[in-house]
Structure 1
């Protein structure tokens, strides 16, 4: 999931450089959502992970 977040961030940067504001904003929003979802799942995994 972190990989897809980085991919969408790179797409947003490239789109912004070429002047595609709508596509850049959408890609940045998707990247932000995926990164937050990754962080939440990572924290939950650490809290509720394997226990002995």
Structure 2
């Protein structure tokens, strides 16, 4: 399997979204968590770093 830059970018973005959703679920199930803040924090930190 040949790994290209586009593939790596797609994987990073997918991981960022999944991480954001997972953290949002954890925060929500933990009580008092705002799921949008969790998702945005998970995606933006990976995209902008």
TM-score by length of 1: 0.52
RMSD, aligned CA: 1.7
CA–CA distance in structure 1, aligned partners of residues 26 and 3 of structure 2:
35
**Unaligned 5+ runs, structure 1:** 1-16
Aligned to 1:34: 17
CA–CA distance in structure 1, aligned partners of residues 19 and 3 of structure 2:
24
Shift of 1:48: 1.1
Aligned length: 32
Moved over 3 A (4+): none
TM-score by length of 2: 0.55
Greater radius of gyration (CA): 1
